[in-house]
Structure 1
Amino acid sequence: MDLTTRYLGLELRNPIVASAGPLSRTVDGVRRLADSGAGAVVLASLFEEQIRREAEYDPQPGQLGTDDFADALTFLPPGGQRHGPHGYLDLIEKAVAAVEVPVIASLNGCTTGGWTNYATAMQSAGAAAIELNLYFPQADALTPGREVEQRHIEVLTTVKAAVDIPVAVKIAPYFSSPGEFALRLDHVGADGLVLFNRFMQTGIDPDTLRVSATFELSRPADAAYPRTWIARLRGRVNASLAATGGVDQPGDVAAYLLAGADVVMTTSALLRHGPEHIGSLLDGLSAWMQRKGFSDLEQVRGMLAEATSRHGNTEASARAGYLDALHQATELYAPDR
């Protein structure tokens, strides 16, 4: 069974990518993910706030260059934490040396800031690609949507101009027109689109009268929305399409591939079941392909993209699909009531 695929122009041995998370924050963690079968590993993110904090130690952060990785490390302040910028570059270098699968660096933020300096240092450290995790929760309810989109565009184009390795963009689903925005990102040079980011949830405790920020692991039901947009974008963009969210069992992987995903990313399933669950996902995917008579992923990828997205092609068909779904739900849950 041929499970090889391409993502961001990189050759991967299979479509399962360990996405950024707690399991990829150490060299041992990256090695364990690779040994479990991951086709690529996205490192835990380096956050914009960490870069800003480090910049306080140096009056000229813009002096970080790309000519020599050792110089990049020398620039960084001594005593940096493992998860800070200094430790992150070291993590990239050691992880790349430890595994044979592509190691993708992750930058998490919302402004151009000093990202380009660290993007170039990541490239020098050996990262195969960079994933821009653009987490931009809009605090001002009156900020125009186009302004929010433009900030994403500026971050992408700034980083793209600074590096030669592929750059993927991980975006949230809460745009007024996700498809049009995805096309804009593709037009300005995104090598990949990761659909979708997940915002933290705000919890309200009526007993303590307190507000708290929470983050829950994804569930299979969460895959419906990104799967729909991947199907709609398949064939419309040049960028690779990465699915993330709602992956737990092999069927979830197969559904994403049928919709048109180039790779399927997961963290929640690996936190629930352990990194070795990658093997179960791959075995289940291979078994499913064999049952259906598929010999490689090219026969699978995007096979149902048109069928998945056709209800959204026109307003009339979208309404028809909506009404049909309501009718089915009524017949199932409230017959003759």
Structure 2
Amino acid sequence: MDLTTNYMGLELRHPIVASSSPLSGTLDGIKRLEDSGAAAVVMTSLFEEQIRHENESYSYLVESGAQSFAESLSYFPDFDAYPVGPDNYLNILRLASESTDIPVIASLNCVTGQGWIDYARQMQEAGAKGIELNIYSVEADLDVSGAEVEQRYLDIVRAVKATVEIPIALKLSPFFSSMGHMAKSLAAAGADALVLFNRFYQPDIDIVDLEVAPTLSLSSAGEIRLPLLWIALLHGKINASLGATRGVERPDEVIKYLLAGADVVMTTSSLLRNGPAHLGTLLDGLKHWMETRGFASVSTLRGSMSHDKITNPGAFERANYIRVLESYKSPYV
């Protein structure tokens, strides 16, 4: 049985990838994921805001009160030796790239154009086999148009692509007025892969303390539907690999994503719930299903139930929406 797959130009042993999470933020965690069977690992994201905050905080610490007594300067370490900036992240990336046999993909989330360029270059120099651009932005300015937001994405892809030689993936949100057109435009701009979809972590409101409360809930299998739809619609129609993420809990979700057309299937929540060893469960389940169904390779399985391959493509379109509504039965109606 041939489980190999190609993801944004990287040859992988199989299509199951450990996506960005606390597990992939340390060298030990990355090695555990490799030992558990991950075909590749996406490191936790490097956030430009955190680097800027650390640098600003240290500068303030050094400068405030330091002019009172000359001797006070000796209490502070040299700035170059202080662990601010991306150094720790890049060191883990470098060590992981040197000590593992699977591709280690860096993840980058920036707020400035120069940040995307500078840190992407440093990630390539540290040995990343690819970079996942995690553009996480909730546009709260009501005067910013959808066209401006889309142009920002395209500009980031072009800038990073012109800076590095390693492949780049773009982790997308589904909130575009024309998702298909945007995906096609991003691929044309140079994205080697699209990862569908990012999860926006919406805040809650604490009605006791009257505070906005940040919340984090792990994904569940029910969240597979939206990325499954768009992977099935995009498969074979854009010049970029497709990575599926969100809702992968069991082998069933891995199989469904591959049938829709995903090149790789990524998971985080199931590994945080069940531990890195759960990767073996996902892979064994995929193998067993392929054997019972007579699939000799992932390549023959991939996309066999995409929009263009099924006998009734309307199942992914408006006609099916009407049938779904008509089929629901409630005891109160």
Q: Which residue of 2 aligns with 1:73?
A: none
Q: Which residue of 2 aligns with 1:14?
A: 14
Q: 1:309 to 1:205 in 2, by over 3 A?
A: farther
Q: Percent identity?
A: 52
Quote the offset at 1:80 in angstroms.
1.3
CA contact (8 A) 1:17 1:265 kept: yes
Q: What secondary structure is seen at the aligned counterpart in 2 of 1:137? A: coil
Q: Structure 1: which 4+ aligned runs deviate by more than 4 Å?
A: 54-58
Q: 1:308 to 1:205 in 2, by over 3 A?
A: farther
Distance 2:98 2:135 in 1: 28
Over residues 180-217 of structure 1, what are the superposed CA-to-partner deviations in whole Å (9 max), with x where a residue is unaligned?
Answer: 11111011110000011111112012233222121211
Q: CA RMSD in A?
A: 1.9
Q: Which residue of 2 aligns with 1:90?
A: 91
Tell me which amino acid in the other structure corresponds to 1:142: D
Q: Which residue of 2 aligns with 1:324?
A: 323
Q: What secondary structure is seen at the aligned counterpart in 1 of 2:157? A: helix
Tell me which amino acid in the other structure corresponds to 1:334: P
Distance 2:144 2:110 in 1: 18
Distance 1:220 1:171 in 2: 19
Over residues 220-264 of structure 1, what are the superposed CA-to-partner deviations in whole Å (9 max), with x where a residue is unaligned?
Answer: 111100110011111111110000000000010000000000000
Matches within 5 A, 1:159-308: 159-306=160-307, 307=310
Tell me which amino acid in the other structure corresponds to 1:173: P
Whether 1:80 aligns to 2:83 is yes
Q: 1:155 to 1:13 in 2, by over 3 A?
A: same
Q: What secondary structure is seen at the aligned counterpart in 1 of 2:227? A: helix
Q: 1:308 to 1:21 in 2, by over 3 A?
A: farther
Quote the offset at 1:312 in angstroms.
7.4
CA contact (8 A) 1:17 1:266 kept: yes
Tell me which amino acid in the other structure corresponds to 1:92: L
Distance 1:152 1:51 in 2: 22
Distance 1:311 1:55 in 2: 54
Q: 1:265 to 1:309 in 2, by over 3 A?
A: farther
Q: What secondary structure is seen at the aligned counterpart in 2 of 1:321? A: helix
Tell me which amino acid in the other structure corresponds to 1:234: H
TM-score if structure 1 supplies the norm length? 0.88
Pick the structure with greater CA Rg.
2
Quote the offset at 1:110 in angstroms.
4.1
Quote the offset at 1:77 in angstroms.
3.6
Over residues 47-89 of structure 1, what are the superposed CA-to-partner deviations in whole Å (9 max), with x where a residue is unaligned?
Answer: 021343466589xxxxxxxxxxxxxxxxx942215xx501011
CA contact (8 A) 1:42 1:105 kept: yes
CA contact (8 A) 1:54 1:77 kept: no
Q: Which residue of 2 aligns with 1:66?
A: none
TM-score if structure 2 supplies the norm length? 0.89
Quote the offset at 1:153 in angstroms.
1.0
Unmatched runs of 5 consecutive residues or more in structure 2:
60-78
Distance 1:228 1:246 in 2: 13
153-162 or 45-54, which deviates more: 45-54
Over residues 114-165 of structure 1, what are the superposed CA-to-partner deviations in whole Å (9 max), with x where a residue is unaligned?
Answer: 2211211111111000000000111113320011111111111111111000
Unmatched runs of 5 consecutive residues or more in structure 1:
59-75
Q: Which residue of 2 aligns with 1:61?
A: none
185-194 or 213-222, which deviates more: 213-222
